[in-house]
Amino acid sequence: MNTQANASARSAPSRFRWAIAGVASLVLAGGALTLALAESSDSSSSTSSTAAAQPPPPKVTIAPVEQKTITAYEEFTGRVEATETVELRARVSGHLEHVHFQAGEVVKAGDLLFTIDPRWYRAQFDLAKARAEVAEREAARSADLLAADAISQEEADARKARAAEAAAALRTAQLDLEHTEVRAPITGRISRALVTPGNLVSGAPGGATLLTTIVATGPAYVYADIDEGTLLKFNRLQREGRLATVNGRVPVSLQLADESGYPRHGYIESADNRVNPSTGSLALRLVFANDDGALIPGLFARVRIPVGSPEPALLISERAIGTDQSQKFVLAVDEDHVAAYRTVQLGGSAGTGQRIVRAGLNPGDRVIVNGLQRVRPGMTVDPEFAVSSSHSVAAR
């Protein structure tokens, strides 16, 4: 019996150890399964997050590269001036009596504008008239007196000279009296009166008082400075007879700050006779009709001057052009909707917000005109066509 008890005692720890080993195996197997499930879950979650983080292709507006027969232009800033400008100054001294106009109205040549106190000048005129009459009578009698040997030849000549001097003094007094009425020398729009009644004005040469100014209405001059490169190109085309003209004049266009599309048309009237060495530019004078009176002297405007003959050219929207350091580029979209970087050589403006492309694109290529900032070369985009190449599309 003791032998059996001892045997049982020795076998109990052995069974216990096997039980512990089995439990440990189960725990390890469960841990491995849990780890595998966790890894599978993490992998599935990562794949789902990657799919969720992928943004949709950016929406862009594209337009085809157009080919048209156009004339190349260059744009410059011009300033409007009147064809005639007058600074009206006093020609005699005296107190200003009356102002006969309203500021800003249109006056006609010969209209009375100011009256300077004429009393002094009327008295001087009357005095000069009396002296002239006496001198004329003495000169008229000198012939008879000379025939009767009553006076010498020298006296007769002196009387004629005094008569001539008196006549000249009379004309001067008459002019001074007339100048007390200041009249408009040209037809145009008058400024305000710079001197009010009661003030003393001076008619002294070099110090005459400025009374007002008048600018002519009707056609207006616009002065624009062109650079040397444009001048050389313009002159070469003119020598070769390849510059577009209308009735022998080079046509130009203009737009004011609140206008678009260069709606005003004129022509080059003249050019300066030398290039300004400090700016490297030449001044052109252009003439434009001014039927609506919108071309007010002193305004700045944009002018468009032709620098080429009509020829086929590729056109793209100004909005499609980007700048990369010193070069210009566009983003073209292929059939797979992938954006591609294209460097381009640009020409002048073609109006309506378009530019001429000299190199870098082909007819029918599609370029991004809106959304350029959101796209990088090689990206897939979601394109939609612009309404028309010349239609203004709001930037996205």
Instruction: For 59-69+311-385, give the CATH class.
Output: mainly beta
Instruction: For 73-82+218-306, give the CATH class.
Output: mainly beta
HEC secondary structure over 193-253: CCCCCCCEECCCCCCCCEEEEEEECCCEEEEEEEEHHHHHHHHHHHHCCCCCCECCECEEE
C-beta of residue 78 within 8 angstroms of C-beta of residue 224 = yes
Rounded CA separation 27/73 (Å) = 86
pLDDT tens per residue, the chain (396 residues)?
A: 444 444 444 444 444 443 444 444 444 444 443 444 445 445 455 444 444 566 788 888 888 888 888 877 888 999 999 999 999 999 999 999 999 999 999 999 999 999 999 999 999 999 999 999 999 998 888 887 878 778 888 888 898 999 999 999 999 999 999 999 999 999 999 999 999 999 999 999 999 999 999 999 999 999 999 999 899 988 988 888 888 788 889 999 999 999 988 899 999 999 999 999 999 999 999 999 999 999 999 999 999 998 877 788 888 888 888 888 878 898 899 888 888 898 998 877 776 678 888 888 888 888 888 887 888 888 888 888 876 544 333 332
Domain at 85-215: CATH code: 2.40.50.100
The angle that helices 119-147 and 153-178 make with each other, rounded to 10 degrees, is 160
Look up the pTM and report it: 0.65
